[in-house]
């Protein structure tokens, strides 16, 4: 399957126990660490959640369920580590995480900025601002050049240049990276979702591309989920692309559902351990 990685998608399957370590070398939490298992899937690139036309043909009326407004209180706070280095951190309490209307965020954007569009019940959508009120983004398996107000589809917006800790390329290079990909679609694409594409444009790292890293069994990446002020859980991954896929799934679900999912998994693990202990006592 090695030559087919670029043509298929990894989708979330289940949580599973794996031996992981604290990224700072200190195991201060009780209970098991958690890894994430994936299966190969041929699903399409991320779904935006409605049938509206991103290029402006049907912006006022949307079919299907009504879109819910973004709720900052339900956002999943997390950090990403590569070995011992923190390479991504998101906390809604930090400065610069305010959201704006599409019209207002335009007053703050500069060429080369990364813009995130947010609403409840959808994956966050990322785009590269290239100037003249326009963005380049991956939408429905195609790289498109759209007006920011059209690409937002009415969602709240924020500039997210600082979430990833990598050194950014020059603004000119970021715009060039984005514009050179406009029109690419389907099998021509090297990115699985809008976040990976936008981050690649800004930082130029192959880790954001499909097959950019070989999955060799080790899990050098860790996704730290903040469940409360005093409790967190660590998930292990073989490559950054897989981690981003899972992080985006969490963003789609929202904090309440993610915390409940992790709690249910940990409870089931504890029950299995208790049952195993009782069985040993009976046998002995």
Of 74 and 33, which is predicted with more confidence? Answer: 74
| pLDDT number for residue 53 | 55
Using the predicted structure, report yes or no on whether residue 5 has a pLDDT greater than 60: no
Residue 196: per-residue pLDDT? 98
Q: Give the residue with greater pLDDT, 102 vs 61.
A: 102
Round the average pLDDT of the chain to a whole number and report it. Answer: 79
Which residue's entry shows tokens 């409360």?
228
The region of weakest confidence among 40-54, 71-85, 105-119, 266-280 is 40-54
Please give the residue that has the higher pLDDT: either 83 or 5.
83
Query: According to the model, what pLDDT value does residue 55 have?
Result: 56
Residue 264 is predicted with a pLDDT of 84
Those residues whose C-beta lies under 8 Å from the C-beta of residue 274, and which sit 6 or more positions away, are none
User: In the structure, what pLDDT confidence band is assigned to residue 263 with cuts at 50, 70 and 90?
Assistant: confident
- Mean pLDDT within 103-110: 97
Instruction: Tell me what pLDDT residue 254 has.
Output: 93
| Average pLDDT of span 52-74 | 57
H/E stretch holding 85: strand 85-90
Tell me what pLDDT residue 29 has.
41
d(CA 223, CA 136): 28
Between residues 13 and 75, the one the model is more confident about: 75
Encode pLDDT of 194-241 as tens digits. Answer: 999 999 999 999 999 999 998 888 899 999 999 887 889 999 999 999
| Fold observed for domain 72-267 | endopeptidase fold (from Nostoc punctiforme) (3.90.1720)
Query: Where does residue 129 rank: exposed (0-12), middle (13-18), buried (19+ CB within 10 A)?
Result: buried
Higher pLDDT, residue 216 or 90? 90
Portion of the chain with pLDDT greater than 70, in percent: 70
3-17, 86-100, 134-148, 178-192: least confident range: 3-17
Residues near 150 by beta carbon (within 8 Å), at least 6 away in sequence:
54, 55, 56, 59
Closest CA to 11 of 196, 248, 256, 260: 248
Quick check: 38 pLDDT over 60? no
Runs of H (alpha helix) within 4-163: 102-106, 148-152
Round to whole Å and give the CA distance between 201 and 114: 9
**Residue of higher predicted confidence among 36 and 9:** 36
Over range 72-99, report the average pLDDT. 90
């Amino acid at each position: 399957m090695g030559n087919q990685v670029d043509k298929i998608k990894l989708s979330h399957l289940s949580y599973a126990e794996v031996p992981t370590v604290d990224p700072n070398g200190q195991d201060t939490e009780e209970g098991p660490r958690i890894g994430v298992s994936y299966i190969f899937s041929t699903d399409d690139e991320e779904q935006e959640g409605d049938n509206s036309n991103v290029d402006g043909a049907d912006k006022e009326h949307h079919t299907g369920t009504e879109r819910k407004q973004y709720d900052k209180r339900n956002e999943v706070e997390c950090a990403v580590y590569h070995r011992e280095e923190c390479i991504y951190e998101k906390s809604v309490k930090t400065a610069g995480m305010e959201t704006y209307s599409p019209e207002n965020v335009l007053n703050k954007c500069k060429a080369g900025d990364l813009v995130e569009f947010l609403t409840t019940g959808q994956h966050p959508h990322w785009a590269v601002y290239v100037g003249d009120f326009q963005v380049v983004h991956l939408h429905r398996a195609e790289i498109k050049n759209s007006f920011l107000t059209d690409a937002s589809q009415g969602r709240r917006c924020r500039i997210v240049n600082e979430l990833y800790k990598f050194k950014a390329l020059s603004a000119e290079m970021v715009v060039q990276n984005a514009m050179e990909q406009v029109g690419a679609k389907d099998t021509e694409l090297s990115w699985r979702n809008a976040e990976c594409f936008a981050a690649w444009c800004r930082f130029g790292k192959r880790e954001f591309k499909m097959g950019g890293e070989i999955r060799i069994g080790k899990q050098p990446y860790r996704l730290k989920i903040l469940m409360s002020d005093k409790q967190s859980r660590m998930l292990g991954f073989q490559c950054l692309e897989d981690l981003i896929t899972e992080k985006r799934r969490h963003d789609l679900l929202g904090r309440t559902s993610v915390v409940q999912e992790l709690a249910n998994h940990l409870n089931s693990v504890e029950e299995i351990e208790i049952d195993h202990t009782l069985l040993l006592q009976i046998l002995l």
